[in-house]
Amino acid sequence: MSEVVLYGRPGCCLCDDARVVLERVRATQPFELVERDIESDERLLRAYLERIPVVTLDGEELFTFHVDEAMLRDRLGRVRAVNVDQESEDRSIASERLSLGVAARLSRYLQVLTQARKMGRETISSHELADYTHVNSTQIRRDLSGFGKFGKRGVGYNVDSLVTQIRKILRTAGQHNIALFGAGHLGRAIASSEIFADHGFRVVAIFDTDPGKVGERVGQHLVRHNDELRAVVEEQDIVVGVLAVPTAAAQGLADDLVAAGVKIIFNYSDALLDVPPETTVHTSSPAVDLLYALYFYLA
């Protein structure tokens, strides 16, 4: 069922008018209606103070000041049609292998939950997860309900429990060892970051070909030469190779990792890596991420 959120504040006459329209539409086209008092949250107050009432449908802002009843009915009808197609994905959520879309969203939820736990949070609501992940709260509840009942209405989700459950679902529970290639500025930043450790990944070896870097200590590790790659992969049970190297060096290292049996390569270079189908490559590019963000900013 779709979720419509009405953002307003006590004493707002336009908010009362919007509520009347929403209830009239809901009588014939059912949806979940949630009312959010912007005065209870400083972020909401800053975002909506000058525009209330604001109405969103499944996380998408539709109206400010005035609710167009005909437009709302039309949008609800189109969302209902789309949801029929999504049912097949919902049925596959609980299957042995997740769809790419579900896996990607669960990973985003886990990132937010991990940070919330570090901040001392015990519970978190689907609305808060929606604010931080930009996935609408209806989709969040749908994703999580496919694996069991994790939350309580009016209370939210237990952060610790949900972190544990999502890690099990994503099969990332436990410790996974990483080999990092490149001991330059980027490589050192990655090695000292808590990002990987927060999710059960541990950098256990750092490699470089620069004689001036080999033998240096980066954190707890001495930088090794790339020639030791195969032996270290076997000894340390490496599951992921992280490439923080110049573009020209990336393909050769990818070939060596494949030959050593590593199935996951995280690529920070611009190289288009050619690897066998059974090897997964994820390329991270800040420029691409910025272009993506810019597109939605200008839209």
CATH of domain 97-169: 1.10.10.10
Residue 298 banded pLDDT, cuts 50, 70, 90: low
Asked if the peptide bond before residue 276 counts as cis, ω within 30 degrees of 0, the response is no
Rg (CA), the chain: 24
Over residues 247-269, the pLDDT tens digits come to 999 999 999 999 999 999 999 98
CA pair distance 230, 224, nearest whole angstrom:
12
Domain ranges of the chain: 3-88, 97-169, 176-290
Q: Which CATH superfamily is domain 176-290 in?
A: NAD(P)-binding Rossmann-like Domain (3.40.50.720)
Residue 222: pLDDT band with limits 50, 70, 90: very high
pLDDT tens digits, residue range 84-121? Answer: 555 554 444 444 456 667 878 888 888 888 888 888 88
Q: Any idea how long the chain is? A: 299
Say whether pLDDT at 41 is over 90: no
The rounded distance, in Å, linking the Cα atoms of 178 and 204 is 6
> What pLDDT is stored for residue 94 in this prediction?
47
> Looking at domain 3-88, what is its CATH homologous superfamily?
Glutaredoxin (3.40.30.10)
Structure tokens at 59: 């996380």
CA distance 12 to 45: 14
pTM over 0.85: no
Whole-number Å distance between alpha carbons of 154 and 125: 8
Report which of 242, 220, 246 is spatially closest to residue 229, judged by C-alpha positions: 242
